[in-house]
Amino acid sequence: MLLGNYNDCTVLEELPQGFYVETQDGKDRVLLPKTKAPKDLNIGDSINLFIYLDNEARPVATTQKAKACVDEFAVLRVKDVNDVGAFLDWGLDKDLILPFNNQLGEVEVNDTCVVRVFIDEKSGRISSTERLRKYFDRDISELKEGMEVSLIAYDFQEERHIDFVINKRWTGRLYCNPISTGLHIGDFCTGYIHSLREEDSLIALSLSPIGFDALVDKHKEALLKALKDNNGFLPFSDDSSPEEIRKNFGMSKKGFKKLAGKLWKQGVVELSPKGIKLAKN
């Protein structure tokens, strides 16, 4: 079976406590508790199930949807902390453990953690870690400069840089003052490959399309539409926070200012301390 993952199964037997199902390779039988089974399930049916370990370390199947599988990166919320470690909400009845020795710092209830889900070699149990470095793919040959990528912020160095998970596979770095971006650990955003160095797998990132023309092409129409939808005015200016800019326009404050300045020079908009508005023809 694929522990900590989804398995195609066949229903073999019905018991008072649930159904025994067989994994596709025919090698494993797992219990699907009746409380987690569809009401119309019958013997012989095929069903896709997530298999994990219960509190007695026995494999158990469920129709619940896990927020992450083994060998995946994930952003999960802390539900509880005790003398063993933290417990993360990953969508199942049984929470996912984040042991103390796998934490980068003290975590508290409701904190957001960026983790890797794995099977502990010693215990055979499903676990997680915030120590991500060894899990990233070192082969960056599929990436190209200027490519749009999906990012998860996972490490902040004050006034220096932010490290991101790239496409849930690689890691890259944005050189910046983290405060200026409005981002926090666990935030998702879109980014771009600024440069690549294959000899040491170093990836430099940008939060704006590479090249100013690309920035204008990507965000110009969205900004003009937002202006038209709001009677020609938006209350965003130099005084707006980076968080406000990113939330509303999906771009950095620096990029927004460049775009607004370009549109002003073209006579498309007017700028004031109160905001930006469409120019009168």
Q: pTM here?
A: 0.75
Domain 212-278 is found in CATH 1.10.10.10: yes
Closest CA relative to residue 153, chosen from 134, 176, 137, 128: 176
Please tell me the CATH code under which domain 137-206 is placed. 2.40.50.140
Q: What are the pLDDT digits (tens) for 222-251?
A: 888 889 999 999 999 888 888 888 888 877
**For residue 98, what is the enclosing H or E element?**
strand 96-99
Closest CA relative to residue 129, chosen from 121, 138, 137, 140: 121
| CATH topology agreement for domains 5-62 and 212-278 | no
The residue ranges of every structural domain in the chain are: 5-62, 73-133, 137-206, 212-278
**For residue 20, what is the enclosing H or E element?**
strand 18-23
Q: What are the pLDDT digits (tens) for 33-64?
A: 999 999 999 999 999 999 999 988 899 999 99
* Block residue for tokens 């409701």: 110
Tell me the C-alpha distance between 198 and 233, whole Å.
Answer: 46
**Strand, coil or helix: 113:** strand
Task: Classify 73-133 by CATH class.
Answer: mainly beta
Please compute the mean of the pLDDT values over residues 64-86 and round it to a whole number: 96
Residue 154: pLDDT over 70: yes
Please tell me the CATH code under which domain 5-62 is placed. 2.40.50.330
Closest CA relative to residue 151, chosen from 189, 178, 123: 189
